[in-house]
């Protein structure tokens, strides 16, 4: 039996941070193969949206629906800072039953860093490590929060290529970033367009 | 997934292998060592009070690992990543409780032998002391986990957790140290019962606490 095709949908979503309403009446539906770019200034609510979509926080109103496993890339890598990178990643590779973890590490130029404790890695290197964790998870739905921040130009190209591959293989990617992104057939929306009117906020 | 998580947690918290080091155990023995210096080497006095000192040392040693028990993995996004893989917070906390106790209970029991020797505790007193610690440390670990999870998102969490643990640990201390004073084993049953109840509640309380910590 084949797994049902993945999708990610938000219905009339509204989220708060503290007492402030960040956005409301946000609805979209992403089908298999879709990539969506969420833009917005710092503090507009991109991270809040991602965490609500991931099911980590309960939205103030509305509903998130999803079919298929979920992978999340965010500022926090989930990698033990005291462990060498190879071991820290091996934990997640083992958990996710990753195939060819060495290939994934090589593709993200991490092989030479395997012995380096995670806390000594630079921001960009940590981000690449988190990407390796995410790719190996082989989840159909990807949520990426600022995947380009801290990365050099070459690595930014790598992220675009990874997302493109993922969507070409029938995956879904929702990318929250204030930086411009160039992907074929990508939709985008600005979170500010859903900001509540001044008197409601 | 549970087995892999337990291995990882143990590697994190076990003395000597993990970055947590053996600090609580060393602290425990150090307190036992200081006591004779402070009150003088009167064998009678030591026999009467030594067991209580070991209990207090155990209680204080239980506070030390709390700071890094939960807060660090919340900051890392570690629990969030596990949640995405379908693991319930309660299961994460149950595993954490087992790992926490294993990295703190048995080493403390072993360290009780040198501590008891320093305090001249032996024979039946030592036996009741060990049985009491065996029954009481899971309860201390459970209280510690709940407090660590509750205070994880607070800025002064570490300082607060020590203060919170002491009153909550009082019943264990009263029955555990009380068993020594009267040399009765029935009190040990109470210690075990309190521990059992705490161990049963802790994963749920701590799980709810880390879920709540996400919302702010």
- Radius of gyration of the CA atoms of chain A, in A: 17
Q: pLDDT value at position A10? A: 93
pLDDT tens for each residue of A3-40: 788 999 999 999 988 888 999 899 999 999 999 999 98
pLDDT tens for each residue of A83-137: 999 999 999 999 998 888 889 899 899 999 999 999 999 999 999 999 999 999 9
> Does residue B90 register a pLDDT over 90?
yes
Q: What domain count does chain B have?
A: 1
Per the CB < 8 A criterion, the answer to whether A110 and A132 are in contact is: yes
Long-range CB pairs of B17-20, under 8 A, 24+ apart, other chains included? B18/B103, B19/A82, B20/B65, B20/B68, B20/B103
Q: What domain count does chain A have?
A: 1
Q: What pairing do the DSSP bridges indicate for beta strands A20-31 and A7-17?
A: antiparallel
Residues in CB range of A124: below 8 A, 6 or more apart:
A150, A151, A152, A155
Q: pLDDT value at position B98? A: 95
pLDDT tens for each residue of B45-71: 888 888 899 999 999 888 888 888 999
Long-range CB pairs of B10-19, under 8 A, 24+ apart, other chains included? B10/B99, B10/B102, B10/B103, B12/A80, B12/B99, B13/B65, B13/B69, B13/B99, B13/B100, B13/B103, B13/B104, B14/B99, B14/B102, B14/B103, B15/B103, B15/B107, B18/B103, B19/A82
> Does residue B111 register a pLDDT over 70?
yes
Q: What percent of chain A has pLDDT over 90?
A: 60
pLDDT tens for each residue of B8-29: 988 888 755 555 557 888 889 9
Side-chain half-sphere CA neighbours of B69 within 13 A: 35
Greatest CA separation found in chain B? 59
Residues from chain A contacting residue B83 (CB–CB below 8 Å):
55-56
pLDDT band at A1 (very low <50, low <70, confident <90, very high): low
Within a domain: A110: no
Q: pLDDT value at position A166? A: 92
d(CA B132, CA B191): 7
Q: pLDDT value at position B18? A: 52
d(CA A71, CA B81): 8
Within a domain: A60: yes
d(CA A164, CA A33): 9
The ipTM estimated for the assembled molecules is 0.92
> Measured between CB atoms, does B159 come within 8 Å of chain A?
no
pLDDT band at B134 (very low <50, low <70, confident <90, very high): very high
pLDDT band at B79 (very low <50, low <70, confident <90, very high): very high
Q: pLDDT value at position B197? A: 97
Residues in CB range of A165: below 8 A, 6 or more apart:
none
Q: Residue A46 is part of which domain span?
A: 1-69+141-150+171-201
Per the CB < 8 A criterion, the answer to whether A157 and A183 are in contact is: no
- Report the CATH number at residue A21: 3.40.50.300
d(CA A182, CA B82): 31
**Beta partners for residue A141, in sequence order:** A70, A172
Q: Which two tokens stand for residue A103?
A: 């290939």
By Cβ distance, the residue of B77, B214, B216 closest to A78 is B77
Q: Which two tokens stand for residue A121?
A: 């890695």
Beta carbons within 10 angstroms of residue B124's beta carbon: 10
Q: pLDDT value at position A199? A: 57
> Measured between CB atoms, does B77 come within 8 Å of chain A?
yes
Q: What percent of chain B has pLDDT over 70?
A: 96
Q: Which two tokens stand for residue B211?
A: 């879920």
pLDDT tens for each residue of A146-185: 999 889 998 999 999 999 999 999 999 999 998 888 787 7
Give which of A82, A93, A121, A141 to mutate to test B binding, by max B Cβ within 10 Å. Answer: A82
Within a domain: A28: yes
* C-alpha distance from B3 to closest chain A C-alpha (Å): 10
Chain A residues contacting B, CB < 8 Å?
18, 51, 54-58, 70-72, 74-82, 91-92, 94-96, 133
Q: Phi/psi at A141 (nearest 5 deg)?
A: -110, 120
pTM of the predicted protein model: 0.91
d(CA B214, CA A17): 11
Q: pLDDT value at position A200? A: 58
Per the CB < 8 A criterion, the answer to whether A29 and A9 are in contact is: yes
Q: Which two tokens stand for residue B86?
A: 């379908």
d(CA B117, CA B112): 8
DSSP, res A28: E
Q: What pairing do the DSSP bridges indicate for beta strands A141-145 and A70-73?
A: parallel
Q: Residue B112 is part of which domain span?
A: 2-214
Contact B76 A70 (CB under 8 A): no
Q: pLDDT value at position B130? A: 95
- Which residue matches tokens 């009481």? B136
> Does residue A197 register a pLDDT over 80?
no
């Amino acid at each position: 039996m084949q797994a049902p095709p993945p999708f990610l949908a938000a219905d009339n979503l509204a989220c708060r941070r503290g007492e402030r309403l960040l956005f409301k009446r946000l609805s979209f539906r992403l089908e298999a193969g879709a990539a969506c770019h969420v833009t917005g200034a710092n503090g507009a609510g991109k991270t809040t949206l991602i965490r609500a979509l991931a099911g980590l926080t309960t939205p103030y109103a509305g509903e998130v629906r999803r079919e298929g496993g979920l992978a999340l890339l965010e500022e926090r890598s989930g990698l033990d800072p005291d462990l060498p990178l190879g071991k820290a990643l091996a934990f997640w590779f083992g958990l996710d039953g990753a195939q060819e973890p060495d290939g994934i590490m090589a593709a993200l130029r991490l092989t030479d860093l395997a012995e380096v404790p995670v806390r000594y890695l630079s921001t960009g290197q940590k981000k690449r490590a988190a990407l390796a964790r995410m790719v190996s998870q082989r989840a159909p739905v990807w949520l990426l929060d600022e995947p380009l921040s801290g990365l050099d130009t070459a690595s930014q190209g790598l992220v675009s290529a990874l997302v493109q591959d993922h969507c070409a293989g029938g995956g879904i990617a929702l990318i929250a970033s204030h930086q411009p992104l160039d992907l074929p057939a990508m939709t985008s929306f600005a979170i500010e367009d859903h900001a509540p009117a001044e008197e409601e906020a | 997934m549970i087995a892999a998580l337990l291995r990882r947690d143990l590697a994190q918290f076990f003395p000597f292998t993990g970055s947590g080091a053996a600090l609580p155990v060393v602290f425990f023995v150090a307190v036992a060592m200081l006591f004779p210096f402070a009150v003088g080497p009167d064998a009678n006095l030591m026999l009467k009070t030594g067991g209580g000192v070991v209990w207090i040392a155990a209680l204080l040693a239980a506070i030390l690992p709390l700071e890094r028990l939960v807060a660090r993995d919340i900051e890392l996004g570690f629990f969030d990543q596990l949640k995405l893989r379908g693991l319930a917070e309660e299961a994460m906390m149950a595993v954490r409780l087992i790992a926490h106790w294993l990295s703190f209970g048995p080493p403390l029991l072993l360290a009780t032998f040198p501590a008891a020797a320093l305090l001249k505790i032996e024979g039946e007193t030592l036996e009741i002391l060990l049985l009491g610690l065996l029954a009481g440390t899971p309860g201390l670990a459970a209280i510690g986990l709940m407090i660590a999870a509750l205070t994880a998102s607070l800025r002064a969490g570490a300082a607060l957790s020590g203060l919170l643990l002491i009153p909550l640990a009082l019943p264990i201390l009263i029955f555990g140290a009380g068993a020594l004073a009267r040399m009765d084993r029935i009190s040990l049953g109470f210690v075990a019962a309190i521990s059992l109840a705490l161990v049963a509640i802790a994963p749920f309380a701590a799980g709810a606490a880390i879920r709540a910590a996400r919302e702010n």
